[in-house]
Amino acid sequence: MISRREFLQATAAASAIVTAGGLGPLGRVAAQQKLSQAEILRFDPLGKLTIVHVTDIHAQLMPLYFREPDINLGVGDDRGRPPHLTGQAFRDYFKIASGSAEDYALTHSDFVALAKNYGRMGGMDRIATVINAIRSERGADNVLLLDGGDTWQGSWTTLQTKGQDMVDVMSALKVDAMTSHWEFTLGAERVKEIADKAPFAFLAQNIRSVEWQEPVFKARQTYERGGAKVAVIGQAFPRTPIANPRWMIADWEFGIRENELIKEVADARAEGADIVVLLSHNGFDVDRKLASRVKGIDVILTAHTHDAMPGVLKVGDAILVATGSHGKFVSRIDLDVRDKKVAGFRYKLLPIFSDAIAPDAAMKAMIEKIRAPYAQDLSRELARTESLLYRRGNFNGTYDDLICNAMLKERDAEIALSPGFRWGGTLVPGDAITFESLSNATAMTYPNCYRMEMSGKQLRDILEDVADNIFHPDPYFQGGGDMVRVGGMGYAIDVSKPVNQRISNMTLLKTGQPIDPARNYVVAGWASVNEGTQGPPIWEVVQKHLADVKTVRLEPNASVKVSGA
């Protein structure tokens, strides 16, 4: 596929000097030379229509490190299929050279060494450069820019501005349309306020009012680009009221709404659409199943599960695109549209290597203005880390363990529960843990850290419920998150088992004794979906802990034993 060939051509020289410890001392220079802006943007155009996709940015204005997962399990029919491949299996499937820039961007392997050579990724000013270059090459009337959501949440500035910083940035990028998920944690009133005023379309065919079952948002919009009529249908995250606080959006109902989607596709075609694009926040496995059941969709731009793949997946006639997260990538797909169908396409996942791409001056100035009121607070050093701190993966990451350790100590708890969030950057050994880094992993509208008693049975029920949400063999019953992170307790999980049979061997780590179903344990946690949860914001709890420890040393968590994968 052209995306792999061009990327590998661009990184072959750098890959040739890989050593057992990563790239050699000249690796960064070689990487910067080969990963030029021109090489990243290089694309053999096709047809007249170009669709550009960004998603799951999580309000990251600045370049960052972000380690991809070492565990990404698929179950049922999706077991062992992309995107559920990591490390060597991912490299083998996509024919990626070990130690290459593509390896660094797309896998967890040798992350620390490769990070030192290839640097940070993302940054909205670099994304602006890439999008402007595509528009300049193809002509603005031939380019459609779509945002898959999870855009207005995930940083301190977006929390303080109630999403306005990202609304302004995406408006400046001239986004045509977006859909949503974490946006809804700003509350229904704020979301509607932005959706009504924004210069881009806010699309969600699958949201209805509870009382009247009327559409809350516009379902689709048709654009004329590249001489074709392109119908874009929005699909918000269908399980938002389960994954996030129901009380924040009490008057709205979600769901996949497959039948309604079938009607939207048919109506779009009847109104003259040449092609239909689903701008989705379902999650990859849900979209793979949906593509096999809903005919007439040409392109599905998938999101939510943060998967990044350097090639597309075809399901029938539908093309599935996975663009990753945190601004690490931009997807470009060129389409040759003839006789109201896609006659051909060409795709490339563009990696946003921040050292190789020049920042767009106007966007850079906008970002500096947005951050200026918070800059002093964001730069505060709370501690330093001697360990790799990461979050992404089906089970505990070291950043999650840091948060759990803070709750155990500062809330005087026996067990800590931290939600299986995928957002928040990575820190490499030697990095300062700044308030910005901490807030990137914790900034949200319901951050209170509770302390309460739970029985051993309640704890097991929680683990079983979350496990079924993730490892249910039918994607339509999956929430697409990761397992709740646990501190102070170990357990075993067999992901191949049915509901209520996956969790076993729950152990209180400080005593080594089995968790007693009848005994109550003191539990600390945060991000409860229950209204009125009391407790300090989680970032205050972690800050206090970091002030005491000063230097963080954490090994990967071995207290969760996984089988059946």
Q: How far is CA 271 from the centre of its chain?
A: 34
Residue with tokens 């949906």: 290
Cis peptide before 241 (omega within 30 of 0): no
Among 83, 86, 84, 121, CA closest to 311:
83
Which residues lie closer than 8 Å to 560 by C-beta, 6 or more apart? 395, 396, 483, 486, 490, 491, 492, 493
Q: Tell me where in the chain the CATH 3.90.780.10 domain(s) lie.
A: 379-563
Task: Show the 3-state SS of 500-520.
Answer: CCCEEEEEECCCCEECCCCCE
Residue with the larger pLDDT of the pair 31 and 63 = 63
Q: Which amino acid is at 198?
A: A
Checking if the pLDDT of 319 tops 80, the result is yes
What is the share, in percent, of the chain residues with pLDDT greater than 70? 94
Q: What is the pLDDT of residues 63-98, one digit of tens each?
A: 999 999 999 999 999 999 999 999 999 999 999 999
Does an H or E element contain 383, and which?
Answer: strand 381-385
Give residue 282's pLDDT. Answer: 97
Look up residue 556 and give its DSSP letter.
P
Is 81:284 a contact under the CB 8 Å cutoff? no
Q: Does the domain made of 35-64+120-370 have the CATH classification 3.60.21.10? A: yes
Among the listed ranges 11-15, 117-121, 399-403, 557-561, which one has the minimum average pLDDT value?
Answer: 11-15
* Model pLDDT, residue 565: 83
CB proximity list for 374: less than 8 A, separation 6 or greater: 156, 157, 160
Question: What local confidence, expressed as pLDDT, does residue 306 receive?
Answer: 97
Mean pLDDT in residue range 530-548: 98
Average pLDDT, the chain: 93
Q: In the Cβ-directed half-sphere of 317, how many Cα atoms lie within 13 Å? A: 12
In which residue are the tokens 């379309």 written?
201
- Looking at residue 296, its amino acid is G
Q: Where do the DSSP E strands lie in 445-539?
A: 449-455, 485-487, 489-494, 503-508, 513-514, 520-526
What residue type is 195 in one-letter code? Answer: A
Average pLDDT estimate for 336-356: 97
CATH of domain 379-563: 3.90.780.10
pLDDT in tens, 479-513: 767 999 999 999 999 999 999 999 999 999 999 99
* Whole-number Å distance between alpha carbons of 419 and 158: 20
Portions of the chain given CATH number 3.60.21.10: 35-64+120-370
Q: What is the DSSP string of 206-238?
A: T-EETTT--BSSB-EEEEEETTEEEEEEEE--T
Higher pLDDT, 21 or 535: 535
The mean pLDDT of 211-223, rounded to a whole number, is 97
Instruction: Give the integer Cα–Cα distance in Å for 362 and 149.
Output: 23
Q: Could you read off the pLDDT of 99-128 as tens digits, one per residue?
A: 999 999 999 999 999 999 999 999 999 999
Nearest to 261 by CA among 191, 179, 185, 200: 179
Q: How confident is the model at residue 31 (pLDDT cuts 50, 70, 90)?
A: low
Residue 322: pLDDT band (50, 70, 90) is very high
C-alpha angle 553-557-562 in degrees, rounded to nearest 5: 170
How far apart are alpha carbons 331 and 52 in whole angstroms?
A: 6
302: left (phi over 0), alpha (psi -120 to 50) or beta: beta
Identify the three-state secondary structure at position 120.
coil
Residue 179 to residue 280: CA distance in whole angstroms: 7
Angle at 557 between CA 551 and CA 559, to 5 degrees: 135
This prediction's pTM: 0.94
* Each residue's pLDDT tens digit, 396-451: 899 999 999 999 999 999 999 999 999 999 999 999 999 999 999 999 999 999 99
Sheet containing 520-526: which strands, arranged edge to edge? 449-455, 520-526, 415-418, 485-487
* pLDDT, position 26: 35
